[in-house]
């Protein structure tokens, strides 16, 4: 199976269940927050290696915690699913057909609506952790990220509260992100296009690095960086934990 192929519904559920499991740190991402976070990472014209953004998937607060994998097979499996979804986000944004992955939330009245706030919070975390390229957006094109700021930051949530937004109005705002977010992603892709092209011209090797991976997911070797994002070698991290069980 190609590393950039879309995850099936069953695979998305598998990844979602792991992200919500007790094996994850308390402040880990859910599937919708992950999708928003990856969108910001991919839109950034500066190539951000997985080793830099992956720790924030496990630990949104500090980027230091990481999961407790049952064994190397599970570590490879989850890392493979994450990278395949990342590559799909790359392909869909560059191709102009990005569709946010919203998590459905059940309401007290039995209805459901999609978690636009969680997606936007993930997006804004990606902006916050790698902010340099976003300065031109916040100083001159705030309209491109207005929805994400309103629904994905503490400042935005305070604004909603200060204006006395009731639950129904808040629900309408989050549902309105269905249309606002995809259009904003397209606009941001166009905004960053000149900067991205300049980066590729100045670094020819970057052209290959920016493209979605088109090879089968590789197994993690004992001396490779651990897929959990700890920064340690696999043999001194999850592999060591597994060996002591």
Quote the pLDDT of residue 161. 75
| Structure confidence by residue, pLDDT tens digits, 99-114 | 898 876 655 666 555 6
Residue 142 burial (CB < 10 Å; 0-12/13-18/19+)? exposed
Give the list of residues 6+ apart from residue 19 with CB closer than 8 angstroms, or none: 28, 29, 30, 31, 34
Cα–Cα distance between 208 and 200 in angstroms, integer? 9
The band of 242, judged by pLDDT with boundaries at 50, 70 and 90, is very low
The band of 235, judged by pLDDT with boundaries at 50, 70 and 90, is very low
| Structure confidence by residue, pLDDT tens digits, 22-42 | 999 999 999 999 999 999 999
Q: What share of the chain is helix, strand, coil (3-state, %, to 5)?
A: 60, 5, 35
Quote the pLDDT of residue 232. 63
User: Angle between the 116-129 and 167-202 helix axes, to the nearest 10 degrees?
Assistant: 40
More confident residue, 240 or 28: 28
H-helix or E-strand spanning residue 190: helix 167-202
What the block records as the tokens of 74 is 């599970």
* β-pair partners for 225: 233
Quote the pLDDT of residue 171. 67
215 has a pLDDT exceeding 50: no
Output DSSP code: residue 28.
-
Quote the pLDDT of residue 104. 67
Give the list of residues 6+ apart from residue 75 with CB closer than 8 angstroms, or none: 69, 220, 226, 227, 228, 234, 238
Count of positions (residues) in the chain: 245
165 has a pLDDT exceeding 90: no
132 has a pLDDT exceeding 80: yes
Cα–Cα distance between 140 and 143 in angstroms, integer? 9
More confident residue, 245 or 193: 193
Mean pLDDT over each residue of the chain, to the nearest integer? 81
Quote the pLDDT of residue 116. 83
Cα–Cα distance between 17 and 36 in angstroms, integer? 18
Helix/strand/coil for 229: coil
- Comparing 1-5, 46-50, 140-144, 202-206, which segment has the lowest mean pLDDT? 1-5
Kindly state the average pLDDT of the residues 78-90: 95
Task: Give the pTM.
Answer: 0.78
């Amino acid at each position: 199976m190609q590393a950039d192929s879309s995850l099936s519904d069953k695979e998305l559920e598998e990844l979602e269940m792991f992200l919500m499991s007790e094996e994850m740190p308390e402040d880990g991402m859910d599937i919708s927050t992950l999708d928003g976070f990856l969108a910001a990472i991919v839109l950034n014209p500066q190539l951000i290696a997985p080793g830099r953004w992956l720790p924030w998937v496990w630990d949104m607060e500090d980027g230091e915690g990481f999961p407790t994998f049952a064994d190397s097979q599970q570590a490879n499996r989850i890392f493979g699913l994450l990278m395949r979804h990342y590559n799909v986000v790359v392909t869909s944004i560059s191709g102009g057909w990005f569709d946010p992955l919203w998590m459905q939330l059940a309401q007290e009245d039995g209805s459901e609506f999609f978690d636009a706030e969680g997606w936007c919070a993930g997006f804004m975390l990606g902006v916050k952790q790698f902010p340099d390229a976003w300065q031109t957006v916040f100083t001159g094109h705030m309209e491109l990220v207005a929805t994400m700021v309103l629904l994905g930051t503490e400042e935005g949530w305070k604004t909603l509260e200060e204006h006395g937004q009731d639950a129904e109005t808040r629900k309408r705002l989050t549902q309105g992100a269905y249309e606002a977010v995809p259009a904003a992603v397209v606009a941001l892709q166009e905004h960053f296009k000149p900067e991205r092209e300049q980066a590729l011209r100045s670094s020819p090797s970057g052209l290959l690095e920016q493209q979605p991976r088109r090879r089968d997911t590789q197994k993690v070797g004992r001396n490779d960086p651990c897929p959990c994002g700890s920064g340690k070698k696999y043999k001194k991290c999850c592999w060591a934990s597994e060996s002591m069980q």
